[in-house]
Amino acid sequence: MRIFSGIKPSGDPTLGNYSGGFRQYAATQEMGDAYFCIVDLHAITVEYDPADLHERTLDLFAMLVATGLDPDRSTVFAQSHVTAHAEASWLLSAVTSYGQLGRMTQFKEKGSRQDFVSAALFNYPILMSGDILLYQADIVPIGDDQRQHLELARDVAERFNTRFGEVFTVPEGVYPEVGARIMDLQDPLGKMGKTGSSEQGTVRLLDAPDAIRRKFRTAVTDSGREVRRGPDKPGISNLIDIMSVATGTTPDAVEAEYGDAGYGAFKQAVGEAVVALLEPVQQRYAELRGDDGELLRLLGQGAEKARAASAPTLERMYEAMGFARLR
Ligand code: AQP
């Protein structure tokens, strides 16, 4: 089984990234031949500071390892180190529908927040399709916000296979049962993101314990007193999901334990559970982040493995599309 997923070095990672991303990566790496990519080419699709990109890439690599990836077992690498990604993206743009790209909600949402909307932001899902398809991934562990992009990647694979012959495995998205979309603690109808959500409602994996406690203490709740999930309780439902993710118990068990505890006590308990979850991650991160040389060595090792794994697919793409190859 081939597994692929990517994460953008676009800001300090959040509890949302942990829930839909990191924890799924660590779990799925046990299932087969796994590729995890720091998608730095995706990070330039919106306004960013070139002075930060290098450090953010190393930060994210250290966080991937701190949350459980083993770079000797899995292939962990940076997208820009493997030129096949940019090449595949151009080739796949020939079988991607312009209309479908324009319907992507992330493009519309992120585009509306930018003064300058780049063509790269519009083309983002093509690059993402190439990321996945180059590795012939069977499964792609992601959060709910990437569902529409994954569907597009499947359409692109199918259109290519129909037009040029069977080259690609059509990938399946894998979403967590609980915590597929963690919401902003201050606005439980909006996603918690590295960018775009409120600072007070966004829990970052490197936040100090007291900052985490404060963010949960001030989290927006709903009417009523009962700790239970429901469409009328977006704030409490989100906190129940977070408690379930942090402690590895089911949302039903969380409701059974805290149903009558009152919102204040429940929020405090969720804060403590998240602090306990992140403490060892932060410790491991600090150890790893102290050694740039080792991180770069491991990134180099990942790049080599990723180049070797993606090159045959890229070659098959060129051949299937009829290009004259020099061999
Ligand atoms: N709130 C979330 N709940 C569950 N999963 C989430 N993910 C992101 N936010 C949540 C998942 O994290 C993985 C890596 O995300 P990404 O780096 O590809 O960027 P994104 O999906 O666009 O998320 P962000 O954090 O909000 O970044 P920005 O602000 O830069 O766009 C993905 O699997 C994603 O589903």
Is the domain of 160 the same as that of 11?
Answer: yes
Is the domain of 233 the same as that of 153?
Answer: no
- The answer to whether residue 142 scores a pLDDT higher than 80 is yes
Share of the chain above pLDDT 90, in %: 99
Instruction: List, for residues 109-136, the tens digit of each pLDDT value.
Output: 999 999 999 999 999 999 999 999 999 9
> What is the mean pLDDT of the segment spanning 287-298?
94
Is the domain of 144 the same as that of 49?
Answer: yes
Instruction: List, for residues 78-113, the tens digit of each pLDDT value.
Output: 999 999 999 999 999 999 999 999 999 999 999 999
Is the domain of 14 the same as that of 90?
Answer: yes
Task: Measure 261 CA to ligand 1 centroid, in angstroms.
Answer: 32
Share of the chain above pLDDT 70, in %: 100
Is the domain of 9 the same as that of 131?
Answer: yes
The reply to whether ligand 1 has any atom less than 6 angstroms from the CB of 307 is no
**Is the residue at 202 inside a domain?**
no
Q: pLDDT value at position 123?
A: 98
Q: Which tokens go with 93?
A: 């743009």
Provide the pLDDT confidence category of residue 225 given band limits of 50, 70 and 90.
Answer: very high
**Is the residue at 182 inside a domain?**
no
> What is the mean pLDDT of the segment spanning 141-157?
98
Q: Which tokens go with 203?
A: 């829990």
Q: Which tokens go with 142?
A: 């992601």
111, 93, 183: which is closest to 143 by C-alpha? 183
Is the domain of 22 the same as that of 145?
Answer: yes
Q: Which ligand 1 atom is the nearest neighbour of the CA of 13? A: 25
Is the domain of 233 the same as that of 311?
Answer: no
**Is the residue at 180 inside a domain?**
no
**Is the residue at 195 inside a domain?**
no
The CATH number given to whatever domain includes residue 263 is 1.10.240.10
**Is the residue at 271 inside a domain?**
yes
Answer yes or no: 305 catalytic: no
Is the domain of 170 the same as that of 214?
Answer: no
Full residue range of the structural domain in which residue 74 is found: 2-174+291-320
> What is the mean pLDDT of the segment spanning 223-246?
97
> What is the mean pLDDT of the segment spanning 187-202?
96
- The answer to whether residue 185 scores a pLDDT higher than 90 is yes
**Is the residue at 75 inside a domain?**
yes
Euclidean distance between the first and the last CA atom of the chain, given in angstroms as a whole number? 31
**Is the residue at 103 inside a domain?**
yes
Which residues, other chains included, contact 204 with Cβ-Cβ below 8 Å and sequence gap of 6+? 12, 13, 14, 15
DSSP line for 24-40: HHHHHGGGSEEEEEE-H
The reply to whether ligand 1 has any atom less than 6 angstroms from the CB of 146 is yes
The reply to whether ligand 1 has any atom less than 6 angstroms from the CB of 37 is no
Residue of minimum CA distance from atom 15 in ligand 1: 7
Task: Measure 14 CA to ligand 1 centroid, in angstroms.
Answer: 8
The reply to whether ligand 1 has any atom less than 6 angstroms from the CB of 93 is no
Task: Measure 284 CA to ligand 1 centroid, in angstroms.
Answer: 22
The CATH number given to whatever domain includes residue 92 is 3.40.50.620
Is the domain of 254 the same as that of 216?
Answer: yes
Asked if 59 and 9 count as a contact pair (C-beta separation under 8 A), the reply is yes
Is the domain of 126 the same as that of 233?
Answer: no
**Is the residue at 191 inside a domain?**
no
- Decide: pTM greater than 0.90: yes
State how many domains the chain has. Answer: 2
Provide the pLDDT confidence category of residue 327 given band limits of 50, 70 and 90.
Answer: confident
Is the domain of 17 the same as that of 126?
Answer: yes
Is the domain of 125 the same as that of 32?
Answer: yes
- The answer to whether residue 285 scores a pLDDT higher than 80 is yes
